[in-house]
């Protein structure tokens, strides 16, 4: 009679037999494992040495060998993990097992430094910054006390700033006038020359009107800066609206002539699209924009809280650190050179904090809040400017609305009119320098052109940083040069120059 065993009984009997054999020949098995491990290690070491010497004998891994090394490490770690789980402890990692199996680089060497994360070092830097700045805050409070006040930022008689408020509220008159001009141009009631002339008058009035209001009334510095920034944004939007509308009219005429018969193009002057454009977080006009589905109320509330916190932190640094430093310093262009350098370096750290807070509040928080309220979809208001290797790369990355406006309405129109690239770049920097000077000099009521020359000085810095980047072929050299010239030296020097010139003007007037 045939006895049929179940699969479970066969499996259990085979397992018992294998366990018995393992107990009897444990020592031999261990020797075999070590022998196999030694032979496999020798083969891996020989293959690794063959890979290294095959790459010219310089001890460096090629890209394919680096990938293979990573795969081998993963396989080795997985095998060790499985062996540790399944093998008895007395057979794991014996003294005869090889500890060095292949050629490897040190983690901080140039060949391997970018293959692992450095989050721990970044956390260390954050902890050190918190500790050092906490000590500075305590030392400052012990020396000066709490210096938060109004003074330079908010006028003691705020009622005298009402012309600034009225000027801000009346600026929408200029977009409405530009819309009427475009509406008349669409109905062909005016020639193109008349349309262009009227747009020039409207845009010029939009920037001169706030300048005259600020210069005629004795307003606070913060109110004047806010009005000038608002006026410059309106001016750039009007230029984009006029330029884009002109281009759309030309395309519509070419379609009517049959030059682009395959393009379905229609030109329409729509007040709703202009009104949305004037409040949208962009400087480039178009008929429609990518839109999001809904407003995230919880996300919006968190961004508003962050905006209040970082704005207060920025004001605290200005009142508690920057004001005492500039008040207790001499004019940087008068007196001892070493003293001026010491003042600039001492001012560089709080100035850098204020600048970073300003960037975060304006470009990340405020523009995203505005975009969320308007369902504006394109939220690329900046790129990774902190990784910029050259000065011109920084200007292309840090302020995307202005960069897109410059490229669309200044740089490429210059190229299309036969101006070389160097001349187009010079014109772009000149326009930027003029508006930087307006935003600072007009509220200070002081035209020393420090901001203008500071922006124009970026052109030789562009040439210098490009030369250093091409010479050393290292992103670190260019990035460190950018941080040194732009944040450590440039901005503190500009702050000292304007402060002392303003104080000198007030002293001579009194």
Q: Which residues are catalytic?
A: 436
Whole-angstrom distance, CA of residue 230 vs CA of residue 238: 12
Whole-angstrom distance, CA of residue 466 vs CA of residue 395: 13
Contact 283, 402 (CB under 8 A): yes
HEC per residue, 331-381: CCCCCCHHHHHHHHHHHHHHHHHHHHHHHHHHHHHHHHHHHHHHCECCCCC
Contact 394, 376 (CB under 8 A): no
Q: Which residues, including other chains, have CB under 8 Å from residue 368's CB and lie 6 or more apart? A: 303, 379, 381
Task: Please report which residue ranges of 171-284 form alpha helices under DSSP H.
Answer: 173-186, 192-216, 221-256, 271-279
CA 405, chain centre distance (Å): 17
Q: Is 440 helix (H, G, I), strand (E, B) or coil?
A: helix
Residue 219, sorted as left (phi over 0), alpha (psi -120 to 50) or beta, turns out to be beta
Burial class (CB in 10 A: 0-12, 13-18, 19+), 153: middle
Whole-angstrom distance, CA of residue 329 vs CA of residue 322: 11
Q: Which residue has the tokens 């794991």?
A: 92
Token duo for residue 79: 């095998």
Token duo for residue 252: 């519509």
Q: Which residues, including other chains, have CB under 8 Å from residue 263's CB and lie 6 or more apart? A: 251, 255
CA distances from 62 to 48, 59, 204, 472 (A): 12, 10, 61, 22
Whole-angstrom distance, CA of residue 401 vs CA of residue 397: 10
User: CA gyration radius for the chain?
Assistant: 34
Q: Is 122 helix (H, G, I), strand (E, B) or coil?
A: helix
Q: Is 291 helix (H, G, I), strand (E, B) or coil?
A: strand
> 298-317 b/e with 16+ CB inside 10 Å = b?
eeeeebeeebeebbeebebb
Q: How many CB atoms are located within 10 Å of the residue 488 CB? A: 17
Contacts of 475-478 with CB under 8 Å at 24 or more apart are 475/387, 475/389, 478/388, 478/389, 478/390
Q: Among residues 270, 96, 257, which one has the least CA distance to residue 175?
A: 270
CA angle 139, 144, 145 (to 5 degrees): 90
């Amino acid at each position: 009679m045939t006895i049929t065993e179940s699969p479970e009984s066969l499996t259990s009997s085979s397992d018992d037999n294998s366990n018995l054999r393992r107990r009897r020949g444990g020592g031999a098995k261990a020797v075999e494992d070590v022998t196999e491990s030694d032979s496999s290690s020798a083969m891996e070491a020989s293959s690794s040495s063959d890979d290294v010497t095959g790459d010219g004998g310089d001890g460096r891994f090629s890209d394919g060998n680096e990938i293979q090394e990573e795969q081998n490490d993963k396989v080795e770690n997985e095998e060790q993990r499985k062996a540790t789980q399944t093998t008895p402890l007395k057979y794991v990692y014996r003294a005869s097992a090889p500890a060095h199996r292949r050629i490897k680089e040190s983690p901080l060497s140039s060949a391997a430094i970018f293959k692992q994360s450095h989050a721990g070092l970044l956390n260390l830097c954050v902890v050190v910054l918190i500790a050092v700045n906490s000590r500075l805050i305590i030392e400052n409070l012990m020396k000066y006390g709490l210096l938060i006040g109004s003074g330079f930022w908010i006028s003691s008689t705020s009622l005298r700033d009402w012309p600034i408020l009225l000027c801000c509220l009346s600026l929408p008159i200029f977009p409405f006038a530009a819309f009427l001009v475009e509406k008349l141009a669409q109905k062909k009631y005016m020639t193109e020359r008349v349309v262009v002339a009227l747009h020039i008058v409207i845009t010029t009035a939009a920037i001169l009107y706030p300048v005259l209001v600020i210069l005629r009334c004795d307003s606070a510095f913060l109110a004047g800066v806010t009005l000038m920034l608002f006026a410059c944004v309106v001016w750039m939007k009007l230029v984009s609206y006029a330029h884009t509308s002109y281009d759309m009219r030309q395309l519509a005429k070419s379609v009517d002539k049959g030059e682009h018969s395959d393009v379905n193009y229609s030109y329409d002057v729509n007040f709703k699209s202009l009104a949305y454009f004037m409040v949208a977080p962009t400087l480039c006009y178009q008929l429609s924009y990518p839109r999001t589905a809904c407003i995230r109320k919880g996300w919006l509330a968190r961004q508003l809280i962050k905006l209040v916190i970082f704005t207060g932190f920025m004001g605290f640094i200005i009142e508690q650190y920057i004001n005492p430093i500039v008040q207790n310093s001499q004019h940087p262009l008068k007196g001892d050179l070493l003293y001026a350098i010491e003042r600039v370096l001492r001012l560089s750290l709080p100035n850098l904090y204020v600048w970073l807070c300003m960037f975060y509040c304006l470009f990340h928080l405020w523009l995203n809040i505005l975009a969320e309220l308007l369902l504006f979809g394109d939220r690329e208001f900046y790129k990774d400017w902190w990784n910029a290797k050259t000065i011109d790369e920084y200007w292309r990355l840090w302020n995307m609305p202005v960069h897109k406006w410059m490229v669309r309405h200044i740089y490429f129109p210059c190229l299309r009119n036969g101006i070389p690239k160097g001349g187009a770049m010079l014109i772009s920097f000149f326009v930027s320098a003029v508006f930087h000077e307006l935003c600072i000099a007009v509220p200070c009521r002081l035209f020393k052109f420090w901001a203008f020359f500071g922006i124009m000085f970026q052109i030789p810095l562009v040439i210098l940083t490009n030369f250093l980047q091409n010479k050393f072929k290292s992103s670190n050299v260019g990035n460190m040069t950018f941080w040194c010239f732009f944040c450590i030296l440039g901005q503190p020097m500009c702050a000292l120059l304007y402060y002392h010139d303003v104080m000198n003007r007030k002293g001579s007037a009194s």
